[in-house]
Structure 1
Amino acid sequence: MSLDALEADEPLCSKAQDKSKAISIADFPEDVFLLLLSDLAAWDVASCQRVCKSWRTAFTKDEYIRVALQRYPHASEVRNLPPGALHFHNSPHTISWQDLLLEIASRYHSLSKGTASSVTKYAMAPLEQLGDWFPVGQWDYHESQPVGRLYYDTVHLSKVSPKPYLFRPTLWTYDDGLLVYAPARCTEAPYFPETLALLDLSTGTKTPIPFSNRGKIIRNIRLKDRTLIVEWAEKDPFHNLNAMEQVNRHFANCFDVRRSDKGSWTVTWRSEWKMHFLGLPPNYHDRFFSTHSSTHYAVYFWQPNRSMYTGDEEMPIESLSVWDISTPSNYAPSSDPSGKYRPPAKEGPYIVSRYSFMDMEFWGVRQHATVSLMSLGIDSETCSLTVRENVGVTGQGYFDPAERLWCAKTTTFPFCGEGPRLYREWDGHLPPYRGHCSMESADVEESERWFLPVMDVVDTKAGVKLSLVETCFSGQSVDNKLVVRLKTGCHESDESESGSEWVTLDDGLTEQVCAMGRITGDERWVVGQNERMEIVVVKF
């Protein structure tokens, strides 16, 4: 063979050697690459971008990122995208797909590991110590507890120590990324703060709420459907109930929470109404519980019978009222005790339905002294009220915690017009009453061995569930503790992700958010309160 022929063969040999080498993923045909990409989690795609230059070029293409994001149709950022934005051949120029990928990858990686990307704390004002907040009293007896008791003693051979079974109420409320609370800030006034604040957790900006607590005692606050309700009482009593007790008038203020065109939030006054025609003594025995939508407000009153001819708790006084709060009004009944300037009927908040104890007996929701009430729900579209109750089944779970059993009952009836009652037993699984926080809980998992549910929070749109449980081991040297668990893929319409398992939040983070037995949040964060009067936001 001539030299020229050998020299001509050299390029052929080198090409054959190059072909025999393993090719990179970035060199895969597009159809094969897309099959691989569809099985990668968002944080895996972000990790692949850091391998080498060729991988970064491949995995940062907008069309490939859109394919990767199709695994997260329930993420809040994906839900807010325009229709068809995730199609492979779509090319909207106003969206930074790389930033969107990194945001979702960071969050869902934290959710899968029980870690946090950041922890933020917000100090609260000590309004209860200053006499500006007097929470509604909690039940000292509830049918969901064994033998109805709400306090128990932890008895060991070496020590006998009482352990409270109730969690104290909290002065903050959360709804869809917005938090209303009393921030701690120093002012020249003898007490602080003078107003509540609305906090946007995504931006950290605060908006003052035009509510002055001068001469007022805050009883409860609740944010729902972009509507804020502040229930309060006058500090000075209005009249005497009897020789021993005095009555303070109770009112509710309604505020609209709206986002402006510039992205900031505004809180504006809507109306005020008198909750109870006589008022309530500021104590822990006269209780009320309420709920609201953007157009209606319902409140239930439970008061001990003070008659000298009956027992204190045998026949309590109960009532239930539903208000229409859709119409704004500048009239404030708290500044007009005589009612001289009261506007005409239905020009402002007005009562739609009022139920006496006999009406509640008819609907089957009267509590008597054996309280089993867990929550109130109001549906403005169907004009119906829903009362949920919870009763512990006798004899269950006494020797084995795995045998715990509760009977959740649901009663729905119309508050406008006439109609039938819908009554359901064994309707879901509710936690036992542990304080007012339990009344905000979603349905919990079925009875689990060695775990006692406290409350659950479900982000139905994202399919993320947050659960606060307490271990219930028994032993001389074993201490039970609170545990926060996370679960993704709980969306009802997505059966493929129903097999996801619980992930436990880090113990250090759990201690920060579970001190008051109340958690809330969604796929982006879990919100709770620690023992230092601080609201803690754990961002995923």
Structure 2
Amino acid sequence: MNLLDLPYTLFLEIITYLSATDTIRCRRISTQAHQALTRQDLSISLILTHFPRSLEGRLLRDLHVREDTQSGSRTVILGGGVSVVDWAAVFARLARRYVHLGAATPWRSLKLETLRDAVRLRPVAIWDRFLRLDGRTAPFSHCDPVWTYDPAETLLVYPAPDGLGYQARDLETGEQVAVPFDLEGKVVRRVRLRDGVLVVEWCEEEGYHALSEMERAHRHYATAYDVRRRGQRDGVLPLRSEESGSNGRSLSMWDITFRSEWKIHYLGLPLGDHDRFFSTHNATHYAVYIWQPRRSAWGDDGPLERLIIWELGKPSAYRPSRDPAEQHRPSPELGGPRVIRRLVNHELEAWGIRQSDTPSLRGLFLDGCTWDGHTNSACGHVFLHEEDHRWSSGPQCSPNPPRLHSVKSTGIPLQGDGPRWVDDCGGSGDDGMGFCWRGPRRPGKRSGEDVAGEGRESWPGRAPCWRHDDFPYLTVSEMFDPAAGVRISARHCFMLETLSVHVRPKLRVAGADWGGGCVGPGTRIEGPDGDEVQFGDEWWCELLGKGFICGDERWIVGTDEEGDITVLQF
């Protein structure tokens, strides 16, 4: 009997013993084989079997798939609209993606030239500390980039050259639109896109108030924009040809509209390397921590520290940058951001998060949801991530370094008096055994871990143990897609650098192997050490020029040594 003539259930049972790549190859055997192996129902089953944790697999499970008995095709209900999906093409694209992920080689790359302007683009300075061992030095941290990428929307916002200002580029469609932010007379300190809100932190180019003979304060502001995709979007699934543009790509128009603006610091900060601030935001709140060194002539004051939390509120047309005297400031009842919490030195010390003269703060983070719709009030925590290292050196390093490398997350409520959340790892109080109590996070070396566990690992309340995941290597940056189980880590140990990938969850049913040298989401990727696969050495310089990468299972975005953006697609 011809295999292709078997009943569907038996044919599916047999074909799942093949790897995804072998299944794609078998389409070439004959016309009959191609027709059988590109059936929509079979392709859906193969996606859910081989790639259950991929973005497409997750989206497929969330969609309502309806069988059209007259045409024999399958349609997908998308927010009231109907789109015909070529599931065979989706399956082939997934197979290609995980071939390249498993080999740590991109399918293709994209280079985006950026604006190089040290006057208009000036990231916030890092702490004055570094790693030193046996006369060798290495960076301990890097400045935040002046571009941002949101994996949920595949939208990259970056400063374009030739006077184009900030541009938003949809990596999925290639569409590019201008961000309505005028760079003239402004210095950008940080840019961040999250939860449909783009925040640009900036200051005036000209200082307005003298702090000393050498320093002048510059008014600092945060300008927020609502970022929305206009029209129907079906994620990564292709639209029908009549719903696509002439280039075959799905249409996606972006609306980037001004939402509100507020002053970060009531007096302003100098543009030198001594004053620092860390910030974060989500859809409803914005938080900033500000650290300023003592400027007393007698040297009897410690650094001035503040933690300020804003509720973004409803959109407001008021721009304090155009009203320095605040003569036209509207009433808070009319909307716009408002401060809901402000903590200074002694209050920060009571919460255990004051940094003093040896700061260790690495970043600020918010809970994913910080708004209770039932009580119409703030909820959740703001988290401060701190770290210290045995080999830390420099004017701001700790006089009592940890045994190896310590990381800590401290969460305080956006409102109210408690409770406080603390999670730390690798501190000086460990018992001499493995300093990271969670252990390494590599495939095959941990048991009992599931999707929910990996999701919790990305929660900001967890201490950032990924930083010392492979001590003495320091993980400079990592891209972690917890839903897909894909992690790309960039590690550095003085003169040694590695950029590697591994995919965690199981490929499919227990006992099934992945053949043909290809990897699916959930497969253990084995390299020379039986653990993970390393990228070619050339990609470090292309991606880690500024010590930062981001993305998801489809993309990695980083910066080369010249400052241009590199995008790798799998």
Alignment TM class, shorter chain as reference: 0.7 to 0.9
Q: Is the aligned partner of 1:388 residue 2:365?
A: no
Give yes or no for contact 1:404–1:447 (8 Å, CA) kept in 2.
no
Report the 3-state secondary structure (helix = DSSP H, G, I; strand = E; otherwise coil) of the residue aligned with 2:466.
Answer: coil
Give yes or no for contact 2:407–2:463 (8 Å, CA) kept in 1.
no
CA RMSD, aligned part only?
Answer: 3.3
Give yes or no for contact 2:289–2:308 (8 Å, CA) kept in 1.
yes
Q: Taking structure 1 as reference, are residues 495 and 28 closer, same or farther at Cα in structure 2, changes over 3 Å only?
A: closer
2:212 to 219, 238, 242: 242
Q: Is the aligned partner of 1:294 residue 2:283?
A: yes
Structure 2 match to 1:522: 552
Give yes or no for contact 2:221–2:263 (8 Å, CA) kept in 1.
yes
Q: Taking structure 1 as reference, are residues 383 and 205 closer, same or farther at Cα in structure 2, changes over 3 Å only?
A: same
Structure 1 match to 2:238: none
Give, as a single letter, the amino acid of the residue that structure 2 aligns with 1:132: R
2:314 to 327, 346, 350: 327
Structure 2 match to 1:454: 476
Identify unmatched segments of 5+ residues in structure 1: 1-22, 142-149, 156-160, 187-191, 396-402, 432-438, 473-478
Q: Taking structure 1 as reference, are residues 461 and 275 closer, same or farther at Cα in structure 2, changes over 3 Å only?
A: same
Q: Is the aligned partner of 1:59 residue 2:37?
A: yes
Give yes or no for contact 2:219–2:268 (8 Å, CA) kept in 1.
yes
Q: Is the aligned partner of 1:484 residue 2:500?
A: yes
Please report how far the alpha carbon of residue 202 of structure 1 lies from its aligned counterpart in structure 2 after TM superposition: 0.6
Can you list the C-alpha shifts for 1:474-531, whole angstroms capped at 9, x where unaligned?
xxxxx5234233434399xx99948554222233334321222111110111111112
Structure 1 match to 2:325: 338
Identify unmatched segments of 5+ residues in structure 2: 76-83, 232-250, 372-378, 393-401, 427-435, 441-459, 513-521, 526-530
Q: Is the aligned partner of 1:466 residue 2:436?
A: no
1:357 to 317, 325, 345: 345
Alignment of 1:275-314 (within 5 A): 275-310=264-299
Distance 1:490 1:43 in 2: 17
Q: Taking structure 1 as reference, are residues 453 and 490 closer, same or farther at Cα in structure 2, changes over 3 Å only?
A: farther
Report the 3-state secondary structure (helix = DSSP H, G, I; strand = E; otherwise coil) of the residue aligned with 2:541.
Answer: helix
Give yes or no for contact 1:272–1:331 (8 Å, CA) kept in 2.
yes
Report the 3-state secondary structure (helix = DSSP H, G, I; strand = E; otherwise coil) of the residue aligned with 1:481.
Answer: strand
Please report how far the alpha carbon of residue 244 of structure 1 lies from its aligned counterpart in structure 2 after TM superposition: 3.3
Alignment of 1:147-186 (within 5 A): 150=130, 152=132, 167=142, 169-176=144-151, 177-184=154-161, 186=162
Give yes or no for contact 2:104–2:500 (8 Å, CA) kept in 1.
no
Please report how far the alpha carbon of residue 394 of structure 1 lies from its aligned counterpart in structure 2 after TM superposition: 8.5
Please report how far the alpha carbon of residue 259 of structure 1 lies from its aligned counterpart in structure 2 after TM superposition: 0.5
Q: Paired residues, what number?
A: 472
Q: Taking structure 1 as reference, are residues 210 and 441 closer, same or farther at Cα in structure 2, changes over 3 Å only?
A: farther
Distance 1:211 1:495 in 2: 54
Please report how far the alpha carbon of residue 175 of structure 1 lies from its aligned counterpart in structure 2 after TM superposition: 0.9
Please report how far the alpha carbon of residue 305 of structure 1 lies from its aligned counterpart in structure 2 after TM superposition: 0.3
Structure 1 match to 2:126: 138
TM-score of the two chains, using structure 2 as the length reference: 0.76
Give yes or no for contact 2:133–2:391 (8 Å, CA) kept in 1.
no
Alignment of 1:104-143 (within 5 A): 104-128=94-118, 131-141=119-129
> If you compute each CA radius of gyration, which structure gives the higher value, 1 or 2?
1
Please report how far the alpha carbon of residue 230 of structure 1 lies from its aligned counterpart in structure 2 after TM superposition: 0.6
Deviating more after overlay: 301-310 vs 497-506: 497-506
Bigger relative contact order (CA 8 A; separation at least 6): 2
Give, as a single letter, the amino acid of the residue that structure 2 aligns with 1:448: D
Distance 2:421 2:313 in 1: 27
Give, as a single letter, the amino acid of the residue that structure 2 aligns with 1:528: G
Give yes or no for contact 1:443–1:456 (8 Å, CA) kept in 2.
no
Please report how far the alpha carbon of residue 419 of structure 1 lies from its aligned counterpart in structure 2 after TM superposition: 2.6
Distance 1:361 1:122 in 2: 44
Q: Taking structure 1 as reference, are residues 417 and 498 closer, same or farther at Cα in structure 2, changes over 3 Å only?
A: farther
Give, as a single letter, the amino acid of the residue that structure 2 aligns with 1:481: E
Give yes or no for contact 2:505–2:523 (8 Å, CA) kept in 1.
yes
Can you list the C-alpha shifts for 1:423-470, whole angstroms capped at 9, x where unaligned?
233297899xxxxxxx99965176436633212221122221111112
1:92 to 69, 74, 88: 74
Distance 2:555 2:303 in 1: 41
Please report how far the alpha carbon of residue 83 of structure 1 lies from its aligned counterpart in structure 2 after TM superposition: 3.7
Give, as a single letter, the amino acid of the residue that structure 1 aligns with 2:337: P
- Residue identity (%): 33
Give, as a single letter, the amino acid of the residue that structure 1 aligns with 2:160: P
Distance 1:239 1:394 in 2: 39
TM-score of the two chains, using structure 1 as the length reference: 0.80
Please report how far the alpha carbon of residue 368 of structure 1 lies from its aligned counterpart in structure 2 after TM superposition: 0.8
